[in-house]
Structure 1
Amino acid sequence: MRFRSTFAATAGLAAMTAMLGMAHGATAAPKPRADAPHEAACPKALPAGTQCFSGQDMHGAYYWIARPKNWNGTLVVHAHGGPRISKPKPDDPVEDLERFAVTVQEGYAWAGSNYRRQGYGVRMAAADTDNVRRIATNLLGTPDHVLLHGQSWGGNVAAKTAELYALDWRGHRNYDGVVLTSGLLGGGTKSYGFRADLRAVYQYYCHNHPRADEVQYPLWQGLPKGGHMKREDLEARVDECTGLSKPKDERTAEQAKNLANILAVTHVPEKTLVAHLAWASNLFQDIVWRRLDGKNPFDNSKTVYSGSDDDAALNKGIERFSADPQAVRLMAYDSDLTGQIALPTITLHAKNDPTAFVGLEAIYRDTVDKAGNGDLLVQNFSDEAVHSKLSTPEYAALFSAMTAWIEKGDKPTKQSVAALCEEKRKTYDEPCKLLPDFTPKAE
């Protein structure tokens, strides 16, 4: 998989004064209001005796906090994935609290925000993540340690949170360690280019997104301004062109050919083809129209596509588009990572992650190394092909390894994390699939 380097750009004055999500035409922020934490019924996945609290911060973001009966004194602040396109609801954080119940089961307190609004905006989400840290600390008392955890897009959010809020105004640590799992660690400018490629490749073969009799628009827009597309409509179009939902022997020759070409050129897994197209539609629409004032951050003007049954025809006929420099600057300023980390950081990524490809870890490693902070980063990989939730004992091992690193100065290795996982699997009836000898490459 190729991760686009054409987006890399230094944030200039224009970017600093017009942050993503604050650009002209962006949706206005909710009116400030606050709802102090109040006790709530805990999800059933949490241990007996756990206390749960929910509320809404002064920016309108809903949050949940959980404190186990056997709290070990460490708080885990969680940044969720997405970005979610639907309007935030009070119980949104419960989904992540249940998914990562292992943190509470291991004795950690947990706090998570659903962010103040839907849609893209890494700095916005980072501010809301740090805000829930303050709320949880005020509620629970000063923890012995505070860990920052981000999953998926939340990995980008957590990594940015660590860059922006690791220290307070006095130079004291707000956090003690960072755990990033299945992270979108290329930032916005290096993580989404393949989805722009996918839109262009898909349209070349399928011609139905948009259809010829529909409003025509540049594919980088995702959807036209104000346009709407339901997931089932997109699924129907993909099925019409590729027979994706049908058994292989029930697809027409044309459908089989289209699907084979799309997958071969883009390297997108078949099982997540619709998901990636959905992000390249609705999320791109949010990014372009609500965050970038209609400007284009994507570029395939010089891309040479390969792997199809006729590469010459594909490269001649595919829709081309060039990125707007200001859009790239804004996107980079909002979401790209600098590698300027001050905290111990552990990552975990599935080797065959079908959503955030494992090569993103190589990009992050290179970014951190170039900033001179490679000694603070330990990366781990697993023999899995999932994204949203990896094997439970692997998370337990990561947090235990981080605690030992903080308290004893025992920097973990891939081998020591794998050994910890084997210990944790005695508690959790799930396998350990860590790969101590694997290191990915950026493609």
Structure 2
Amino acid sequence: MTRAAGRPVTALAALLLLLAAAPAPASAAQHAPRHLEGTLPSGATYVIDAPARWNGTVLLFSHGYRPEGTPNPAVNAPDEPTKKLLLKEGYALVGSSYAKNGWAVEQAVPDQLAALDTFTGKVGAARRTLAWGQSLGGLVTTTIAERHPRRIDGSLSLCGLVHGGVANWNSTLDATFALRTLLAPGSGIRLTGFKDTADATASGNRLGAAMEAAQRTAPGRARIALAAALHAIPGWNDPATPRPAPDDHASRQANQYTALRGLVARPGFVWRAEAERRAGGTMSWNTGVDYTAMLARSAAYRQVKSLYKSAGLTLGADLRVLAGEPRVGADPGAVRYMADHAAPSGLLRKPQLDVHTTGDALVPAEVESAYRRAVNRAGRAPLLRQAYTDNAGHCTFSPAEQLGALHTVEHRVATGSWGDTSPAALNSRARDADPATPARYTPYRPGPYPRPFS
């Protein structure tokens, strides 16, 4: 018998006092929800959320492009409604800010892996790790899947730039080259090799003004439609606008014009200037490109022909002008940089699901054809599945659609078989996960990517 505060205490009571004073074991601490934030060695920040009842799966989320000079917080989910649903289902979430804004695939991949290491150290080892991301984050995710397969069990790319940096900047050049050649001949508007951001902005503004004037005339509208076709911009690309009929060429062209104006205002010039500084030169070219053949493969070919006919123009004459215009060359070192850091090879080693909206103007669904071709050439076709939602816009997925896609990847990882990945099956999974938001998976096969993929 012992004494405490002058009173006898039994051995059992003493043991209870000791247990009450001792810290809770790690296993018990894991039952409390955790929200952790911090800074990685690179200077990137990270954010971790682990629910009270963690199901053992951690989701590594890679965010999309953020322009220079804009806020760059760490995020671990694409939006708050989706995040809440995932935590409710028991998933743990982790993601980083990346150390730099812009075309930061070089920094994003190691920062994401470092964030994953931080999760393991602070929360615990996951039973299963799935990588997922949107837009540029879809490219980051695909790069992790191809180059660091031991770190993950499966991956999901949403509206991803899975065609890679080289193809992306080539495709952007195709559109701006056609616009300058046909709408502002002899203007000398710079398309690549910008001196600085101000130079890029001025060049984009000049081309934008030429587009604005052209849109007021039938010949100008036809030529803008031709440039849109070379970039595979769909005729319905804004979910806030009505969907035009397939043969409503005028309405479709108006939508393409709006999307091209956005491309010229930022990605085609200002964002390109940032990417060129990162790569050390011009990473895109159009030497040897046959724009007549590219247009013939386009889903918008009939629309362009119709608009040219209505405007009283000869399509062949404009294509010959494009063919004769002096071309843009690339800096080999810059191409090498982009290929080394941001060009998927198709060499998947773990299962990946790609999901795209059918009406994406910024990263058209045709990029999925490019990646499917690369995966097939690499002999990894069984590891890839691709699906499409019937909606306009870039990354305009509902929480239901995102959870349905994640559940599909997890099913493949858990069972070793994709099972049914039809639109009906994906919609069923989406509705089960969140009946309150749309499930719009649809049968769809995009056309070929405009520029041959390499």
Query: Normalising by the residue count of structure 1, what TM-score does the alignment of the two structures yield?
Result: 0.74
**What letter is aligned with 2:355?**
L
SS at match of 1:124: helix
Larger proportion of helix = 2
Deviating runs (4+, > 6 A) in structure 1? Answer: none
1:220 and 2:205 aligned: no
CA displacement 1:296-315 (0-9 Å, x = unmatched): 43224533355564415632
Q: Which of the two has higher C-alpha Rg?
A: 2
Residue number in structure 2 paired with 1:188: 165
Q: Equivalent of 1:424, from 430, 437, 453?
A: 430
1:263 and 2:228 aligned: yes
Residue number in structure 1 paired with 2:78: 96
Q: Equivalent of 1:282, from 235, 259, 270?
A: 270
Residue 394 to residue 114, structure 1, CA distance change in 2 (3 Å): same
Residue number in structure 1 paired with 2:63: 80
Give the total of aligned pairs: 374
1:64 and 2:47 aligned: yes
Residue 224 to residue 341, structure 1, CA distance change in 2 (3 Å): same
1:176 and 2:176 aligned: no
Q: CA deviation at 1:407?
A: 1.9
CA displacement 1:155-206 (0-9 Å, x = unmatched): 1111111222222xxxxxx211111111111111222212111222222344
Residue number in structure 2 paired with 1:333: 340
Q: What is the alpha-carbon root mean square deviation over aligned residues? A: 3.1
SS at match of 1:273: helix
CA displacement 1:334-373 (0-9 Å, x = unmatched): 2111222221211111222222111211221121122222
**What letter is aligned with 2:281?**
G
SS at match of 2:392: coil
Q: CA deviation at 1:260?
A: 4.5
Residue 64 to residue 236, structure 1, CA distance change in 2 (3 Å): farther
The answer to whether the 8 A contact 2:201-2:270 is kept is no
Larger deviation: 64-73 or 182-191? 64-73
Runs of at least 5 residues in structure 1 that lack an aligned partner in the other structure: 1-48, 168-173
Give distance in 1, aligned partners of 2:228 and 2:71: 36
Give distance in 2, aligned partners of 1:338 and 1:203: 32
Structure 2 counterparts to residues 15-26 of structure 1, below 5 A: none
1:304 and 2:274 aligned: no
Structure 2 counterparts to residues 343-422 of structure 1, below 5 A: 343-415=350-422, 418-422=424-428
Residue 340 to residue 158, structure 1, CA distance change in 2 (3 Å): same
Residue 351 to residue 90, structure 1, CA distance change in 2 (3 Å): closer
The answer to whether the 8 A contact 1:62-1:89 is kept is no
Give distance in 2, aligned partners of 1:382 and 1:411: 19
Residue number in structure 1 paired with 2:174: 197
SS at match of 1:131: helix
The answer to whether the 8 A contact 1:234-1:274 is kept is no
SS at match of 1:227: helix
CA displacement 1:11-41 (0-9 Å, x = unmatched): xxxxxxxxxxxxxxxxxxxxxxxxxxxxxxx
Q: Percent identity?
A: 24
Give distance in 1, aligned partners of 2:444 and 2:261: 33
Q: Equivalent of 1:272, from 248, 259, 266?
A: 259
Residue number in structure 2 paired with 1:242: 212
Larger deviation: 385-394 or 181-190? 385-394
Give distance in 2, aligned partners of 1:295 and 1:259: 25
SS at match of 1:412: coil
The answer to whether the 8 A contact 2:156-2:353 is kept is yes
Larger deviation: 386-395 or 110-119? 386-395
1:115 and 2:98 aligned: yes
Residue number in structure 1 paired with 2:133: 150
**What letter is aligned with 1:220?**
T
Give distance in 1, aligned partners of 2:199 and 2:172: 19
Q: CA deviation at 1:258?
A: 5.8
Residue number in structure 1 paired with 2:251: none
Q: CA deviation at 1:120?
A: 1.9
Higher relative contact order structure (alpha carbons within 8 Å, sequence separation ≥ 6): 1
The answer to whether the 8 A contact 2:61-2:75 is kept is no
Residue 413 to residue 253, structure 1, CA distance change in 2 (3 Å): same
The answer to whether the 8 A contact 2:356-2:388 is kept is yes
Larger deviation: 123-132 or 310-319? 310-319
Give distance in 2, aligned partners of 1:301 and 1:201: 15
Q: CA deviation at 1:316?
A: 5.9
